[in-house]
Amino acid sequence: MTTTTNTGVHTDTTTEGAPAYAPEHEPRMQWAKHAPEVYKAMVRLDAAAGQGLDPRLRELVKIRASQLNHCAFCLDMHTKDALAAGESVERIVQLGAWEESRHFYTEKELAAIELTEAVTVLTDGFVPDEVYERAAAHFEEAELAHLIASITVINAWNRFGVTARAVPGHYTPGQYK
18-59: per-residue pLDDT in tens?
A: 888 999 999 999 999 999 999 999 999 999 999 999 999 999
Residues of the chain with pLDDT under 70: 1-15, 177
**Alpha-carbon distances, residue 133 vs 92, 99, 129, 136, 151 (angstroms):** 25, 18, 6, 5, 16
42 — phi, psi (to 5°)?
Answer: -65, -40
Q: What is the structure's pLDDT at 41?
A: 98
Burial class (CB in 10 A: 0-12, 13-18, 19+), 135: buried
Q: What integer pLDDT is reported at residue 175 of this predicted model?
A: 82
pLDDT at 8: 47
CA distance 81 to 50: 14
- Predicted pLDDT of residue 9: 46
CA atoms within 13 A on the CB side of 149: 18
Quote the pTM value: 0.88
Residue 123: per-residue pLDDT:
84
